[in-house]
Amino acid sequence: MAPLLQLTGVSKSFGQLAALDGVDMEIGESEAVGLIGDNGAGKSTLVKILSGVYPPSAGTITLAGDEVHFGNPLDARRTGVEMIYQDLALAEDVDVAGNIFLGREIRKRFGPISYLDRDSMAIEAARMLAELGIDVETDREAGTLSGGEKQMVAVARALQFEPRLLLMDEPTAALSAEKIKVLLGLVEGLKERGVSILLVSHRFTDILHVCDRVVVLRQGKLAGELVPDAQAPEHTMALMAEYMTGEMLGSA
């Protein structure tokens, strides 16, 4: 089966600085791929290209067999690519239901006048949260939520756009151990629903728990990729660290 997403020779330069240099990568249907690398490795640049924030300087991006060119995040969203940013970008003074439907509000018409159908949004938001196993009241303002609750609302909002590919940037960075477990369970559920995921994280244990493959960037280049070994997680984590640093086994 052809991959859902394919990057071929993707590069990005900012003046004389090459943030990405000829990266090739694939993500399959219903596959979760982990993306790791040290600070400055190019992870953020790569996800910003995929989410339409930056255009690549060179290379091609193919989604479901068609070459795509994103001029902005809306272009990416229209093709089924959705991004959950590390800062979540929730409207703090808007309630949970309003945030989930932000940019896709349900409206009613009364003659020539249209207005927000808050009741329908609250009912639909509650149904979606329950389906995801998230226990958050839909009438609470986002500013009153914990970091973990905000992350769950951000996931629910992303799913409103029915993505084929979900990009997650450090989704567990500010979460408690309990909320991390819930979020990783959501990732497993999304794969079962046919959503492909690119998970950027510095937490190796999170990646090993849910990702089918791991891609490693170093200094803007693809340093390697591997399939996690559930029987020997310590060996897999050691290999990930070695790819990140360039100090491979037996290279001393």
114 falls in which pLDDT band (50, 70, 90)?
Answer: confident
pLDDT in tens, 222-232: 999 999 887 78
Between CA 30 and CA 132 the distance in angstroms is: 17
pLDDT in tens, 120-174: 999 999 998 888 778 889 999 999 988 778 888 888 888 888 899 999 988 887 7
Average pLDDT, integer, range 104-127: 89
The neighbour count for residue 133, using CB atoms within 10 Å, is 11
pLDDT score at 251: 42
The pTM for the full model equals 0.86
pLDDT score at 157: 87
Average pLDDT across the chain, whole number: 88
In this model, does residue 110 exceed pLDDT 70? yes
Instruction: Indicate the residue type of 101.
Output: F
Least confident range of 16-25, 87-96, 132-141: 87-96
Please list, in sequence order, all residues whose beta carbon lies within 8 angstroms of the beta carbon of residue 245, skipping any fewer than 6 positions away: 38, 218
**In degrees rounded to 5, what are phi and psi of residue 193?**
-85, 0
Residues in the chain: 252
What b/e sequence results for 192-221 when a residue is b if at least 16 CB atoms lie within 10 Å of its CB, and e otherwise?
eeebbbbbbbebbebbbbbbbbbbbbbebb
Nearest to 79 by CA among 14, 4, 168: 4
Nearest to 197 by CA among 225, 164, 244, 158: 164
pLDDT score at 139: 93
Least confident range of 47-51, 72-76, 102-106, 209-213: 102-106
In this model, does residue 249 exceed pLDDT 50? no
237 falls in which pLDDT band (50, 70, 90)?
Answer: confident
87 falls in which pLDDT band (50, 70, 90)?
Answer: low
Cβ atoms 160, 104 nearer than 8 A: yes
Instruction: Indicate the residue type of 204.
Output: F
Higher pLDDT, 170 or 248: 170
DSSP state for residue 54 in the 8-state scheme:
S
Q: What's the Rg (C-alpha) of the chain?
A: 19
pLDDT score at 250: 44
pLDDT in tens, 23-76: 999 999 999 999 999 888 999 999 999 999 999 999 999 999 999 999 999 999
pLDDT score at 244: 87
In this model, does residue 248 exceed pLDDT 60? no
The tokens of 132 are what? Answer: 């995801």
**In degrees rounded to 5, what are phi and psi of residue 216?**
-115, 125
State the pairing for strand pair 32-36/58-63.
unpaired
Higher pLDDT, 248 or 14: 14
pLDDT score at 252: 36
Cβ atoms 34, 214 nearer than 8 A: yes
Nearest to 34 by CA among 224, 243, 198, 236: 198
